[in-house]
Amino acid sequence: MIRFILTRLLGIIVTLLLLASITFFMMHAVPGGPFTKNSKLPPEVEAALKAKYHLDKPIIVQYLHYLERLAHLDLGPSLKYDGLSVNDLIRMGFPASAIVGSIAILLTLLIGIPTGVYAALKQNKFQDRFGMILSTIGVVTPSFVLATILIYVFGLKLRLLPIYGVDGIKGYILPALALSGFSISYIARLTRSSMLEVLTQDYMVTAKGKGLKPFQIIFKHGFRNAMIPILTVLGPTFAALVTGTFVIEKIFALPGMGKHFVQSIGNRDYSVIMGVTLFYALFLMLMVLVVDLLYLLIDPRIKLRQH
């Protein structure tokens, strides 16, 4: 187990190094720079700013300087937010994004999985068809459209929830609902398909022949095996919900990282673009690692192969 984890962590480090290198050279290959949009800057001031951030050095020197900072877990200073580093921006913005993403994944688990299991048990009946129609609508409806509907119904008409900014935990409910619409629907459909496949397996027939109670058959024998493909997508889904909130944060004016990342692209803020990209990649790979470790707990056959 320890060897497996260390091997995966080493792979994560190598991947991050490659991603950092690719992102760095791509950013510097794009014409222009972080100070070219401000035409009012005197040439001597622009030259001083470039010297301050080492942008006047040869590209390979800048790259080595960037790797040195990464070795110390320093993502560098923001070129547009004076006095703030990328680490500061992540520290300030990530909590809001994490809260919205965590609520969204909780809704996905509490709604998507039970809906899929219930639909599988009611295959081809009204409950199954109705649930799948709703899940299809959820899959094809963009998050910003769902956000608009939620704002109109719960914010403007019913006035139950705030629609702008963060007002305690209530301020995160509508953004989380809008963000989780696709994942709830997708997980529901995936759970249904996985459960239908499991219900036809020989060991399920044997369990019925032994006279076990339906609850034991479904959840002890069936659901545990059906969880394998669901777990496969839950890790990346969680990472996507936590880090993929750019549009939702903009609509609901949440103080998350999405605003900084979007603005950094327009501002050519190299440090923020590269730093946030690396942070998101690290978060995604850690979630995938967690899923792989959960495999060992759920499926004994995987555990035996690992040992």
Query: Both ends of the chain: CA-CA distance in Å?
Result: 8
Q: Mean pLDDT throughout 178-205? A: 87
- Residues 101-156: pLDDT tens digits? 889 999 999 999 999 989 988 888 999 999 899 999 988 888 889 999 999 999 88
Q: Mean pLDDT throughout 27-53? A: 71
pLDDT value at position 305? 47
Question: Residues 6 or more apart from 82 whose CB is under 8 A from it?
Answer: none
Q: Which residue has the higher pLDDT, 113 or 2?
A: 113
Phi, psi angles (nearest 5°) of residue 56: -90, -5
pLDDT value at position 249? 84
Only one residue has tokens 């900084």, namely 260
Sort 259 into a burial class: Cβ within 10 Å, 0-12 / 13-18 / 19+.
middle
pLDDT value at position 184? 93
- CA 178 and chain centroid, separation: 14
- Residues 55-102: pLDDT tens digits? 778 889 889 988 988 888 888 888 777 778 889 888 888 888 888 888
Could you tell me the pTM of the whole model?
Answer: 0.81
Q: Mean pLDDT throughout 270-275? A: 86
Q: How many CB atoms lie within 10 A of CB 123?
A: 13
pLDDT reading at 222 higher than 80? no
pLDDT value at position 188? 92
The three-state (H, E, C) secondary structure of 100-117, written as one string: HHHHHHHHHHHHHHHHHH
CA distance 302 to 290: 14
Which of 109-113, 165-169, 253-257, 303-307 shows the lowest per-residue confidence on average (mean pLDDT)? 303-307
pLDDT value at position 204? 76
The tally of CA atoms less than 13 A away on the side-chain side of residue 159 is 0
* Confidence class for position 250, pLDDT limits 50, 70, 90: confident
With b for 16 or more beta-carbon neighbours within 10 A and e for fewer, the 170-184 pattern comes to: ebbbbbbbbbbbbbb
Q: Where are the alpha helices (DSSP H) in the chain?
A: 2-29, 43-52, 59-71, 86-107, 113-121, 126-140, 143-150, 173-199, 202-209, 214-215, 223-243, 246-252, 257-267, 270-298, 300-306
Q: Which residue has the higher pLDDT, 53 or 303?
A: 53
Q: Mean pLDDT throughout 239-264? A: 79
- Residues 278-291: pLDDT tens digits? 998 898 888 888 88
Q: In Å, what is the CA distance from 218 to each residue of 118, 125, 301?
A: 11, 18, 20
Q: Which residue has the higher pLDDT, 255 or 13?
A: 13
Mean pLDDT of the chain: 83
CA proximity to 135, closest of 196, 185, 191: 185
Angle at Cα 143 formed by Cα 286 and Cα 243, nearest 5°?
20
Q: In Å, what is the CA distance from 113 to each residue of 45, 56, 131, 166, 230?
A: 58, 54, 12, 29, 9
pLDDT reading at 306 higher than 60? no
pLDDT reading at 267 higher than 70? yes
The helix/strand/coil state of 123 is coil
Q: Are 234 and 301 in contact (CB under 8 A)?
A: no
pLDDT reading at 36 higher than 70? no
pLDDT value at position 258? 76
Q: Mean pLDDT throughout 186-196? A: 91
pLDDT reading at 307 higher than 60? no
